[in-house]
């Protein structure tokens, strides 16, 4: 999405949401590379004390440069649950403060590129900044290869055949709701696993789909793991993990 084309008569684009793809820098688009090289500020989300994965991906294009970097460290990650005061209030404040920080940069005429894993408009943290800033500053959102596309490709698992309907589910749903939606679809991608993996396993078993479920961790990255969910011996699931349920539709 482009609110104003870069360097248009209405003024240069100041805010970029840059999709970097699933993790392997080779899946980055040419447009993403151009922006990373030219933006005045490179912004990335991260956990406190750690560099964000999107910034690590961008290392293939530009090394760290303190003069260009803006690090946005989440105040909480897994310490509290979504919907709880201990999560929602600190995170909302974090986005407000981050938006104000980036607005100050753009008001000074500097372009800001927010580096995003996968695609910026697909379960992305960037969207919360976009909602606060895109109506104020010329903005361009650069699409990226989604993590799930990287996952099913590396798993060698075509996700939809013929007229298959695919459903993307967050593992944060209740077990009953996960089960209901799994029963009612042909193919599925289940994201946001983490501590929800045991619940996701039970829902897949109840829906009769555990035999088709594939667990993928860090797709396209050096630490990639791909195996049948039924063969996974533990319930550990890091942030960059998901479960695929390939469809079994019409094949010619």
Digit-coded pLDDT (tens) for 179-214: 999 999 999 999 999 999 999 999 999 999 999 999
Is there a single domain that holds both residue 125 and residue 183?
no
Last residue of a domain, one of 94, 119, 145: 145
Six-digit token string for 31? 């447009």
Is there a single domain that holds both residue 172 and residue 79?
no
Task: Check which CATH number belongs to the domain holding 22 and give it.
Answer: 3.40.1010.10
Is there a single domain that holds both residue 89 and residue 207?
no
Average pLDDT over residues 83-108: 88
**Domain limits at 125?**
15-145
User: Per-residue pLDDT for 9 more than 90?
Assistant: no
User: Rg of the Cα trace of the chain?
Assistant: 19
Residue at 133 is within a domain = yes
CB neighbour list of residue 163: distance below 8 Å, 6 or more residues apart: 249, 250
Question: Band of the pLDDT at 1, cuts 50, 70, 90?
Answer: very low
User: Per-residue pLDDT for 35 more than 50?
Assistant: yes
Six-digit token string for 59? 């290392």
Q: Distance between CA 192 and CA 237 in Å, rounded?
A: 9
Residue pair 145/118 in contact by the 8 Å Cβ criterion:
yes
Question: Band of the pLDDT at 78, cuts 50, 70, 90?
Answer: low
Going by C-alpha positions, the residue among 189, 141, 144, 193 that lies closest to residue 167 is 189
Residue at 66 is within a domain = yes
Q: Distance between CA 191 and CA 48 in Å, rounded?
A: 23
Residue pair 144/234 in contact by the 8 Å Cβ criterion:
no
Is there a single domain that holds both residue 212 and residue 107?
no
Residue at 250 is within a domain = no
Q: Distance between CA 119 and CA 28 in Å, rounded?
A: 11
Is there a single domain that holds both residue 47 and residue 81?
yes
Is there a single domain that holds both residue 154 and residue 234?
yes
CA atoms within 13 A on the CB side of 184: 8
pTM given for the model: 0.89
Q: Model confidence over 202-248: pLDDT tens digits?
A: 999 999 999 999 999 999 999 999 999 999 999 999 999 999 999 99
Is there a single domain that holds both residue 174 and residue 115?
no
Last residue of a domain, one of 94, 122, 145: 145
Question: What pLDDT score does 53 carry?
Answer: 93
Six-digit token string for 176? 């009953």
Is there a single domain that holds both residue 196 and residue 141?
no
Is there a single domain that holds both residue 29 and residue 110?
yes
The residue written with tokens 């294009």 in the block is: 61
Q: In what order do the strands lie in the sheet with 187-191?
A: 166-170, 187-191, 241-245, 214-217, 225-228
Is there a single domain that holds both residue 70 and residue 119?
yes
Question: Band of the pLDDT at 99, cuts 50, 70, 90?
Answer: very high
Task: Check which CATH number belongs to the domain holding 178 and give it.
Answer: 3.30.950.10
Last residue of a domain, one of 83, 113, 145: 145
Question: Band of the pLDDT at 82, cuts 50, 70, 90?
Answer: low
Is there a single domain that holds both residue 29 and residue 137?
yes
């Amino acid at each position: 999405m482009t609110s104003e084309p870069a360097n248009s008569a209405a003024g240069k684009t100041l805010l970029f949401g840059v999709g970097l793809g699933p993790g392997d820098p080779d899946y980055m688009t040419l447009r993403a590379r151009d922006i990373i090289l030219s933006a005045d500020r490179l912004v990335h989300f991260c956990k406190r004390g750690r560099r964000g994965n999107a910034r690590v991906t961008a290392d293939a294009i530009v090394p760290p440069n303190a003069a260009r970097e803006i690090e946005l460290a989440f105040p909480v990650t897994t310490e509290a649950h979504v919907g709880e005061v201990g999560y929602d209030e600190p995170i909302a404040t974090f986005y407000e403060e981050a938006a104000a920080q980036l607005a100050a940069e753009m008001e000074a005429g500097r372009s800001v590129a927010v580096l995003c894993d996968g695609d910026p408009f697909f379960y992305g943290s960037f969207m919360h900044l976009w909602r606060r800033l895109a109506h104020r500053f010329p903005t361009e959102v650069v699409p990226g290869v989604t993590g799930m596309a990287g996952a099913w490709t590396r798993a060698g698992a075509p996700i939809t055949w013929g007229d298959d309907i695919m459903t993307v589910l967050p593992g944060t749903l209740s077990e009953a709701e996960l089960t209901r939606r799994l029963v009612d679809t042909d193919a599925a991608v289940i994201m946001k696993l983490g501590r929800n993996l045991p619940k996701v396993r039970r829902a897949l078993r109840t829906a009769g789909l555990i035999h088709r479920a594939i667990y993928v961790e860090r797709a396209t990255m050096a630490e990639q793991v791909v195996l049948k969910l039924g063969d996974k011996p533990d319930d550990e699931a890091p942030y960059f993990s998901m479960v695929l349920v390939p469809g079994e539709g019409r094949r010619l």
